[in-house]
Structure 1
Amino acid sequence: MGSFDYIVVGGGSAGCVLAARLSEDADKTVLLLEAGGEGRDFLIKMPAGTAKLMGNKAFDWCLPTESDPSIGGRTMQWSVGKALGGSSAINGQVYMRGERSDYDAWAQMGCEGWAFADILPYFLKAERFHGAPSQSHGSHGPLSVSPIRDPQPIGQHVIDAFTQIGIPLNEDYCDGSQSGVYRIFATQENGQRCSAARAYLEPARGRANLTVMTGAHADRIVIRNGVATGVQFRCNGQAMQAHAVSEVILSTGTLLSPAVLMRSGIGPAAHLTSLGIEVHADLPGVGENLREHNSVALAKLVNIPTLSAQLGPLGIARGLIQYLVAGKGIMTTPAVQVMAAFRTDPDLADPDIILSMLPVAVNFNDRGDAILEKRPSFSFGFHVARPKSRGQIRLRSSDPDDKPVIDHRLQGAHSDVAKLVKALKIVESACRAPALASVITGTLRPDPIPETDEQWEDYVRSAGGIGYHSVGTCRMGPDGDPMAVLDTQLRVRGVEGLRVIDASVMPEPVSANTNAPTIMIAERGADLIRRRL
């Protein structure tokens, strides 16, 4: 279908940033390929639509996992956004950066240029903050970040309870230290979701040098003589190929980017050969180092109104009217309203648990469907900040329509389980603090409350799940690291003209929801590409 200076594969959080930034150079042509739709649907724009989007195959890749022996052989379904905006079009809209030490650790591993001081300017460049002016927030970027509207009363009880057990209020958790309890900031504007597509792509769509194709399924990167020369893809059932003059940038995410690389002949040679795929670069790290925030939840009944009790037919109708008329009410509510970062051991340098408070009692079944408690209730979901458990991605076959094999030992590292057990007991102590004890009337999950560490561990393994924050499967690293897929400029080793820029490049997990860090990576990646010229 012609030649472009840059081809960006994947219109998710990173891809939208890259397409917008690279097309700022008017003399450079950019093609953005996205397998999903435009991402302008009503449910995507409405913040509360998250519950109906996750698990919906029109907007979600719905990727199944293999049976996981570390959680009793259970299988799960991984939600990955399938539309312009990617997972930022279906996620819970939490804006979170992580700890300063997360990024400093990357630099200490040999990823020069990725320390916190190096990457903070890119967080600021991306952000348009609607809270009080602060040196730790940007005010002129594309991504709208706002304090949440209409906070639920249970949030203040949670904040007070955590301060009562010694976890202090954190006034700004985006300054490099998340320690404490706080109300979240959300990627919203005027009561609507601000996805990466809305923030970055929509203002750029009128540029003559930017071509956006939706419904475009990437089959493989075309490689000739060690150089990425284009992309083979299908659109409306028709096989197509586009040529890249300068670079191909792969941004299909942690679970799909390694699959595209492997179908293109980049990955573990023995695995590719077994599937009849010609090997262009033997990179054993492709698909390895799958990391995820393994999570567990508890839920309580309360004697004050919460969002749970407002989700009947009348409450939803009232909320829709408020949303449509004034951009307010429960339909503007992100899934999470209050978060906390705390230590299971006071001697730790940084928090090792990240907690989220939802003003509903919610669970997800194996299909990813949200199941809500109708009585007044709330829930805590929390995960290990820097999990040690690992998994891998492999191809099921060379057929692009076959979903990849996601084989993750979610709780394979006992240290992760031990931290979650300690965290559960700390959170139960917060529930006994006066601010929460005065409103809690019963327990929903776990029921009954475990009494021993062994019982808590059984609960973690039987009820634990994924946090939808996967990273690491195409990780960057210094020269000499045999498992590093990319160099620190995000270039694929052994193949010229090809980069991966998305959450898969992270060498270690960040102590945060991954959307804001992914956007930061894309901002810096765009700079790296443009500086090369």
Structure 2
Amino acid sequence: MTGSYDYVVVGAGSAGCVLANRLSDGGRYSVCLLEAGPADRFIWIHIPIGYGKTMFHPVYNWGFYTDPDPNMHDRRLYWPRGRTLGGSSSINGLIYVRGQKEDYDQWAAFGNRGWSWNDCLPYFRRLEHNELGAGPTRGTDGPLWASTIKQRHELVDAFIAASGTLGVPHVDDFNTGDQEGVGYYQLTTRGGFRCSTAVAYLKPARRRPNLHVETDAHATKILFDGTRATGVRYTQHDRIVDVRANREVILTAGALQTPQLLQLSGVGPQALLREHGIPVVADRAGVGENLQDHLQVRLIYEVTKPITTNDQLRTWTGRAKMGLQWALFRNGPLAIGINQGGMFCRALPDESPTPDVQFHFSTLSADSAGGDVHPFSGCTYSVCQLRPESRGTVRIRSTDAREAPSIQPNYLATDLDRRTTVAGVRFARRVAAAEPIASLMKREVRPGADAQTDGELLDFCREYGQTIFHPSGTAKMGVAGDPLAVVDERLRVYGTQGLRVVDCSIMPTLVSGNTNVPIVMVAEKASDMILADARGGEPALRIDSRFTAEAA
């Protein structure tokens, strides 16, 4: 037993870093933050384009693979997840998106009081420093930066203009609640560097004497006294260590490893636990169920002019110029990342009252995200369905916490998912054929001109579709009468005491867009709930989110 703390937080990712800061603020409560990976000292973590270097990194990335998916030609799909301080916020694509107002209103409609858009909006505003300036839905004093792409690109401008000819409005802010439109994304960057939650939240708090951070600490079990969580067991440098939680254990390990740790600890489907000889602490059928993810389909085009990032990366002079731009001015491709242009639109307008697909438009092309660029001038239209109906599972394979769980995404399992995805591909082709971008498109490399029928396009989606890195829903929030609900509206695990989940696992349904900013919001809101419960139900103090110069 290494020590005793008020709160033990498992996972220093997008949510864990937020909780470590908020719960330790003021010095009243002690916090121990456990992270299985190392510190975030790798330089490519902090350079925005560097996620190409971390996408397959054996140290900073868990590098999960799914089980063969029968809906995807039995392919095993690569699922990267961050394994360092900041978690996936340290290796993601930096896109700053909240989702739609209706996403959160639906959570509330399921019976989760306090989770409507209007309930969540104050926390979205509290967390952000938005370069667009203050507004009814924007914040400017928060630690997480929403930076505007200031350097325009000919291809992205043409993509925006071409989409406009198809009736998609041009917008500067996708985060007002009504996200329909096309424009440049905002990014979680600050001054040319990545603004992960480790940078935004954890770094300013590291000197607090009541915050203890352990890296290379792989949690293997939640410790229980009956049904009360009392601590966490973890391994570190071949040692087995127990740490005590006087108030709560809080799981922030993500939608794959949170259900895995719950199941290993005796919280999950009774039949699964007994199959592996694990004593049942709480029979919760929903642990590891309800897995949702955004499937991206990438259309590759060859460009008529050498203006793409492919062209810059292929020569030493191009790479040197990019490096100098970043080193001297903190701008250029290294400061932006890969995806600059974004669009939210309706691929099935007669069926969806709000956008049902999202585009990530990239000025480079490769066979996969983070892969080697093609030997030609190329760009990518990445399309994903926003609200998939398909549901998968996450289940332990053994009692060894070091063994990756069984992951079955079950993509494209429903008729709506298949039709929406194919319609999204067709809409991407319409954009590529519209001026002014049509003149810049030399040829469609993938799927290619031979793929024309719905069946041929669906086969392309099955053969080449990949995750866009948004696994969610595996410990979902719901009312007590929901047999698959794992946590209540205050994110407390049903059937236990002193145990919460605060990560993408709790999402009843996947938000319409990238998940990083929504889960930072969830953690901000959870911190208020936790502090209020610690004070006997009194409202938590509103924490001023303006940080000192030390945070920079």
| Same fold flag (TM > 0.5) | yes
Partner amino acid, structure 1, of 2:397: R
Please give the secondary structure, in 1, of the residue aligned with 2:209: coil
Aligned match for 1:308, one of 307, 310, 319: 310
Unpaired segments of 5 or more residues in structure 2?
A: 535-552
Partner residue in 2 for 1:266: 267
Contact 2:89–2:516 (CA under 8 A) maintained in structure 1: yes
* Alpha-carbon distance, 1:117 to partner: 0.2
Partner residue in 1 for 2:344: 341
Partner residue in 2 for 1:325: 328
Alpha-carbon distance between aligned partners in 1 of 2:121 and 2:104, rounded to the nearest angstrom: 10
Please give the secondary structure, in 2, of the residue aligned with 1:197: helix
Partner residue in 1 for 2:288: 287
Matched, 1:357 2:400: no
| Structure 2 counterparts to residues 178-257 of structure 1, below 5 A | 178-257=179-258
Partner amino acid, structure 2, of 1:418: R
Alpha-carbon distance between aligned partners in 1 of 2:227 and 2:62, rounded to the nearest angstrom: 31
The C-alpha deviation readout for 1:43-91, integer Å capped at 9, x for no partner, is 0010010111011111100011100000110011110000000000000
* Alpha-carbon distance, 1:152 to partner: 2.3
Alpha-carbon distance between aligned partners in 1 of 2:438 and 2:105, rounded to the nearest angstrom: 39
* Alpha-carbon distance, 1:346 to partner: 2.5
Contact 2:133–2:139 (CA under 8 A) maintained in structure 1: no
* Alpha-carbon distance, 1:408 to partner: 1.7
Alpha-carbon distance between aligned partners in 1 of 2:240 and 2:150, rounded to the nearest angstrom: 46
Alpha-carbon distance between aligned partners in 2 of 1:45 and 1:292, rounded to the nearest angstrom: 26
Identical aligned residues as a percent: 38
Matched, 1:51 2:52: yes
| Structure 2 counterparts to residues 34-183 of structure 1, below 5 A | 34-183=35-184
Alpha-carbon distance between aligned partners in 1 of 2:349 and 2:398, rounded to the nearest angstrom: 48
Larger deviation: 206-215 or 430-439? 430-439
Alpha-carbon distance between aligned partners in 2 of 1:339 and 1:481, rounded to the nearest angstrom: 36
Contact 1:150–1:330 (CA under 8 A) maintained in structure 2: no
Please give the secondary structure, in 2, of the residue aligned with 1:460: helix
Alpha-carbon distance between aligned partners in 1 of 2:176 and 2:129, rounded to the nearest angstrom: 15
What is the root-mean-square deviation in Å for CA atoms of aligned residues? Answer: 1.1
The C-alpha deviation readout for 1:347-403, integer Å capped at 9, x for no partner, is 321111111101111232xxx751311322211111111001111001010011111
Contact 1:182–1:340 (CA under 8 A) maintained in structure 2: yes
The C-alpha deviation readout for 1:399-438, integer Å capped at 9, x for no partner, is 1111111012112123111111111111111111111111
Partner residue in 2 for 1:524: 525
Contact 1:311–1:374 (CA under 8 A) maintained in structure 2: no
* Alpha-carbon distance, 1:448 to partner: 2.7
Partner residue in 1 for 2:544: none
Alpha-carbon distance between aligned partners in 2 of 1:514 and 1:151, rounded to the nearest angstrom: 25
Alpha-carbon distance between aligned partners in 2 of 1:153 and 1:222, rounded to the nearest angstrom: 56
The C-alpha deviation readout for 1:133-186, integer Å capped at 9, x for no partner, is 333211010101101243322000000000011111123211001101111000
Alpha-carbon distance between aligned partners in 2 of 1:149 and 1:217, rounded to the nearest angstrom: 40
Alpha-carbon distance between aligned partners in 1 of 2:244 and 2:452, rounded to the nearest angstrom: 62
Partner amino acid, structure 1, of 2:313: L
Please give the secondary structure, in 1, of the residue aligned with 2:425: helix
Contact 1:149–1:191 (CA under 8 A) maintained in structure 2: no
Alpha-carbon distance between aligned partners in 2 of 1:225 and 1:457, rounded to the nearest angstrom: 50
Alpha-carbon distance between aligned partners in 2 of 1:85 and 1:103, rounded to the nearest angstrom: 25
Please give the secondary structure, in 2, of the residue aligned with 1:38: coil
Unpaired segments of 5 or more residues in structure 1?
A: none
Matched, 1:503 2:504: yes
Larger deviation: 20-29 or 146-155? 146-155
Partner amino acid, structure 2, of 1:334: G
Contact 2:65–2:407 (CA under 8 A) maintained in structure 1: yes
The C-alpha deviation readout for 1:7-37, integer Å capped at 9, x for no partner, is 0000000000000000013121000000111
Contact 1:146–1:185 (CA under 8 A) maintained in structure 2: yes
Please give the secondary structure, in 2, of the residue aligned with 1:262: helix
* Alpha-carbon distance, 1:340 to partner: 0.6
Contact 1:267–1:286 (CA under 8 A) maintained in structure 2: yes
After superposing on structure 2, the runs of 4+ consecutive aligned residues of structure 1 that deviate more than 6 Å are none
Partner amino acid, structure 1, of 2:200: A
| Structure 2 counterparts to residues 304-453 of structure 1, below 5 A | 304=305, 305-312=307-314, 313-347=316-350, 348-364=352-368, 370-453=371-454
Alpha-carbon distance between aligned partners in 2 of 1:172 and 1:20, rounded to the nearest angstrom: 28
